[in-house]
Structure 1
Amino acid sequence: MPEFFWELAKLPLLTGGAATIALVTADFGGWRPGRYLLKPLAAACFIWLALSLGATASNYGLVMLAGLILCMLGDITLMFESEGAFLTGLVAFLCGHLAYVAAFLQLPINTYGVLLSLSPTIILVAITLRWLCPHLEGPMRHAVPAYIGVIAVMLVAAGGTLGLAGAGLIILGAWGFALSDLAVARRQFISSSRINQLWGTPLYFAAQYLLAASVCFYSAG
C-alpha cells in the first residue's frame, strides 16, 4: 500500500464507515428518513475516497470513478421501493459493473488470473440463476439474467488483474460487490426481511471502498 494512503484515506473511510453502520442501524430499525440521509452519504464517501487518492490522475482511476458515480446513482434510485425504481437502479448498477470492467481492462491482463477466476464465477452464476429464476416475472425474467451475465464478466476481468499492484483490493472488491447483490435480489424477489440489509449493506459498501482505494496504485500514471 502506498505510504500516503492512510493519510489521504482516513477521513473518507472513517466518515463512510460511520455512515454505513448508521445506515444498517436505521434500516434494521425501519427508520426510513435515516435511509434517505445516510445511504447517499455513505455512497458519496467512496467517491470522495477515490478522488482523495488521485482517481483523476490515471485512465484506470477515471474509469473507476465513473463506475463509482454510476453505483451511487443506483444507490439513490433503489431507495425508492417500486418496480420502476428497481429497474432504473438495475440499469445504473449494470452500467457501473461495465465501467469497472472497462477500468480493469486499462491494466495488463493476466491470462492465468482470468482462467483461475472462471470456475468460481461459473459456479456463482449457476447457483444464482437456479435460485432466482423461479421467482422472476415479466421483464425481470430477461433483465436479471443479463445483469448476472455482466457481473460474471466483471469477476473474470477482475481476476485478470492477478499479480498487479492493487489486485487484492480489486478482486476482493469485485467479489464483495457481486455477493452483496444477492442480498438485493433476495429482498426484491424472495423475502423483504431486514436481515438482507444487515449483511448486504456493509458488504456492498466495503466492496466499493476497496475498489475506490485501488486507484491509489495508479494515481501516478
Structure 2
Amino acid sequence: MKKQAYALAAVVDSIAALRRPNRVRRVTKTALMPALAVATPPRDPAMALGLAGSWAGDVALLGDSDQAFRTGLVSFLAAHVGYTTALARRSQPGSRGAVLPIVAASSAGAWLFGRAAGPLGRPVALYALTLGTMVAAASTARGTGARRVVCGATLFLLSDALLGSSRFVLSGRTARVASAGVMPTYTAAQWLLHTGFARGGSADGEPA
C-alpha cells in the first residue's frame, strides 16, 4: 500500500498539473515526497537531504512568480547536493568514464538555459551545473540498483529540461506539451533514485 500511495499521488498530481489554477495540487504535490519517504525511508542522511530539498522545491514551485522559482531552484540545488554526496559514495574504481562527457554536456546546457532565462540566468546556470554533477555521480554507481539510479538521474535531467524549456524557451502549444511531461518524469525519477539507492544498501539486494 505504501508504494501504491506514492504512485497514486504521482498520477493524480501529473493529471492535475495539466490544469491551472488547480487547488488539488496543494495536496497532491505537497504529499509526493512524504509518500516516497514512507514507501522508501532514506537511511542515508544525504539522501534524506535530497528528499527534504525536493519537498521544499515542490512546495515553492506551486507558485508561478520569479521569487517562487528562485526558491524552488535553491531547494532543488540543496537536494542535488545531497543526492550527489550519497551517490558519490557508491562509485567504484574504473566507473568514471562518463563523468567528463556528462559535465561537458551539462555545462553547455547551463550556458544555453542561462542565456534564455534572462534575469534568472545565473541561478538557472548554477542549478544546471549542479544537476549535471548529480547525473555524473549517478553514472559512477555500481552494484545492485545502479541501473535504477542512472535511469532516475537521467529522468530528473529530462524533467528539468522540459521545465526549463517550457518556461524560458518555448511558447504556446509547444510549451504546454513540454510542461505536461515534467511531473511524470520527475515522479518516476525520484522513485528510481530512491529505490535504486535502497537496493544498493540492502544486504539481500532487495528494496528496503
Normalised to the residue count of structure 2, the TM-score between the two structures is 0.86
Residue in structure 2 matched with residue 141 of structure 1 by the alignment: 121
Aligned structure 1 segments of 4 or more residues deviating by more than 4 angstroms: none
Give matches, 1:41-52, under 5 Å: 41-51=31-41
Q: CA deviation at 1:43?
A: 2.5
Aligned residues: 200
Q: Is the contact made by 1:63 and 1:103 (CA closer than 8 Å) also made in structure 2?
A: yes
Cross-structure match for 1:17: 7
For residues 47-98 of structure 1, the C-alpha deviation after alignment (integer angstroms, 9 at most, x for no partner) is 22221xxx33xxxx33212211111110111001111111011000001001
Gaps of 5+ in 1: 1-10
Q: Counterpart in 2 of 1:98?
A: 81
1:194 aligns with 2:184: no
What does residue 113 of structure 2 align with? 132
Question: Does 1:183 find its partner at 2:173?
Answer: no
Q: Is contact 2:60–2:72 with CA below 8 Å preserved after alignment?
A: yes
Q: Which amino acid aligns with 1:112?
A: G
Q: What RMSD in Å do the two structures reach over aligned CA positions?
A: 2.2
Query: Which structure dedicates a bigger proportion of its chain to helix?
Result: 1
* Distance of 2:70 and 2:33 partners within structure 1: 19
The corresponding residue for 2:56 is 73
1:165 aligns with 2:165: no
Identical-residue share of aligned pairs (%): 25
Aligned partner of 1:6 in structure 2 is: none
Partners of 2:40 and 2:26 lie apart in 1 by: 23
Picking from 113, 118, 123, the partner of 2:100 is 118
Residue 27 (1) aligns with residue 27 (2):
no
TM superposition shift of 1:174:
1.1
Residues in 2 aligned to 1:40 and 1:118: alpha-carbon distance in whole angstroms: 35
Alpha-carbon contact 2:145-2:200 (below 8 Å) kept: yes
Question: Over residues 169-198 of structure 1, what are the superposed CA-to-partner deviations in whole Å (9 max), with x where a residue is unaligned?
Answer: 111111111111112212322346432342
